[in-house]
Structure 1
Amino acid sequence: MSRPRRKAGPVRSLVILTMVGGLIATVALPAYGAWRTPAEASVTLQQVAADDAQSLVVASDTTSAALSRGSYSATTPEEIEKKKAEEAAAERARAAAAAAASAAASAKKSGSTGRYSMNLSMTAPGSGEVRWPVTNFTYASYNLFRPPNRPNHNGFDMVAPAGQPIFAAAAGVVRISQESYAGYGVAVTIDSVVGGQQVSTLYGHMTYGSRQVVSGQTVSAGQLIGAVGSTGSSTANHLHFEVRINGSLVDPLAWLQSNAG
């Protein structure tokens, strides 16, 4: 008796359908993905960077500015040395200007011009409390240098070359030291005590800028105070010397002859 044959047809058909379904899925899924997400065009790195780059818009009326040489530093050894030399010269000029300004300020404050060069160590000869204000001079009459509008000439005129030293006749305190003092021109007055008396001496017509003392300064007998000149109401180089004792004018020549030594 023979065995009945199995029915293989349905199984084979199922296998075939499964294989066909897998093939369809393999082909259809990529196509579906491509349809859902459109492909992006390929780009370069430069194009990507350009999207995020900053931009500058310049107006058409904007002008460019030229760089000056002072806007950058020297780079070569020659330029560096030149720059150092220029800076050193500028510093010296500033120092000189500052020194001149300081000297001018000091002169203005003290009342002395300081334009006349003299040997400050000079002193009048003698050892007494009264000295001759000019050591070498020619005697002049009291009226020799008297201006027409000043008939009363109260001093003694000692004719001497311009620039000859003038000394304090006695120790005391400078009361007046001016470049322009009435008709006396450049003048100095000193208040002293001589022999128990109040003595005031005046030195007139001195050279501009020659005063070596200031108001309020204490001086000693024979100390250098200025130089002979012809300033103010004067017609020739000489020292106009006056003496007042207790406020009254006295003969200056007679006073010197009696007291100077």
Structure 2
Amino acid sequence: MPETTIETTSQTSADATTRQKAATRSSAFVRPVRTVAILGAVGALVAAIALPAFVSTSGAADAAPVTTEQLAAGNAQSIVVASEATQAPSTRGQFTATTPDEIEKRKAEEAAAARAASAAAAAAASTASTSSSRPSLAGMALVAPGSGAVRYPVTSFTPGEGPGSGRGHEGWDMIAPEGTPIYAAAAGTVTASAESIGGYGVSMMIMSNLNGTMVETRYGHMVYGSRMVEAGDQVSAGQLIGLVGNTGNSYGSHLHFEVRIGGSVIDPEPWLAANAG
């Protein structure tokens, strides 16, 4: 019995040693095979990458050089080569205002231009309005009837208030329909002519030298836009100078006719009666 046990144990040890040797031989064989496989995979990868590049390089050595424009043509795009681009010189006048002062100056200039345009439009409208309001002079004589150096400024009128009324009225009211012609009472120089002179309204003043005596005649309350002469003009006796109206301090259509000799107011009614021809 002991001998059989010893043999069995010996046999078992021998089998184990045999298996261990087999495993060692198998392991020694697997490692070289794995290494060879890895090297083969790496070689295949290098070949896949390097060969196309090598072929392209070797083929390009025999071909003509390819320009940047030719490479870009395949993408249907155009390019500008930096060496061909030019730098155009720039001047200050090519730029708009950028500083606050320049911006404010430009705004001020634009505002001034707008105000000038508005003023011009207003002046044009005023001129058109004045022209349209000027009464027609068709059929009106330029010289009043009569003879002599002094003429009645209105040929047909109704006498109204004069200086003797006690109200401080300095002229003679010659009542007539609006638009009645007014003539210069005597030849002389127009010293004033305007669309508004105080209470006279549309009026004018004429200075005359009658036999060495300076006589000023004044014509008030004319129709707007009816003045025929301006300051500085020379007029003759009986010349048409305007039309009867109702402007200024007036309460009905009439001519306020005033006469001053040596700066003093006189009554126009007896003066005209004594001097008009």
TM-score with structure 1 length normalisation? Answer: 0.57
Structure 1 residues 183 and 198: alpha-carbon distance in aligned structure 2, compared to 1, 3 A threshold = same
Three-state SS of the structure 1 residue aligned to 2:173 is strand
- What is the 5 A alignment of 1:170-181? 170-181=186-197
CA contact (8 A) 2:163 2:267 kept: no
Structure 1 gaps of 5+ residues are: 1-33, 56-96, 108-112
Q: Aligned equivalents of 2:171 and 2:209: distance in 1?
A: 20
Structure 2 gaps of 5+ residues are: 1-53, 81-119
Q: Aligned equivalents of 1:190 and 1:159: distance in 2?
A: 21
Which deviations, in whole Å up to 9, do the C-alpha atoms of 1:31-60 show, x marking residues without a partner?
Answer: xxx9896114999x97663478228xxxxx
Alignment partner of 1:135 is 2:155: yes
Give the aligned partner of residue 49 of structure 1.
73
Structure 1 residues 169 and 36: alpha-carbon distance in aligned structure 2, compared to 1, 3 A threshold = closer
Structure 1 residues 49 and 196: alpha-carbon distance in aligned structure 2, compared to 1, 3 A threshold = same
Two-structure CA RMSD over aligned residues (Å): 3.6
Structure 1 residues 222 and 39: alpha-carbon distance in aligned structure 2, compared to 1, 3 A threshold = same
Alignment partner of 1:196 is 2:185: no
Alignment partner of 1:165 is 2:181: yes
Question: Which protein, 1 or 2, shows the higher relative CO under an 8 Å CA cutoff with sep ≥ 6?
Answer: 1
- Aligned length in residues: 174
Q: Aligned equivalents of 1:228 and 1:36: distance in 2?
A: 110
In terms of Rg, which structure is larger?
2
Percent identity of paired positions between Structure 1 and Structure 2: 52
Q: Aligned equivalents of 2:72 and 2:210: distance in 1?
A: 107
Three-state SS of the structure 1 residue aligned to 2:59 is coil
Which deviations, in whole Å up to 9, do the C-alpha atoms of 1:134-170 show, x marking residues without a partner?
Answer: 11111224279x8xxx921111111000111111101
Structure 1 residues 36 and 233: alpha-carbon distance in aligned structure 2, compared to 1, 3 A threshold = closer
140, 143, 151: which one aligns with 2:167: 151
Which deviations, in whole Å up to 9, do the C-alpha atoms of 1:176-209 show, x marking residues without a partner?
Answer: 1122212111111100011321100011111122
Structure 1 residues 213 and 50: alpha-carbon distance in aligned structure 2, compared to 1, 3 A threshold = farther
Structure 1 residues 211 and 35: alpha-carbon distance in aligned structure 2, compared to 1, 3 A threshold = closer
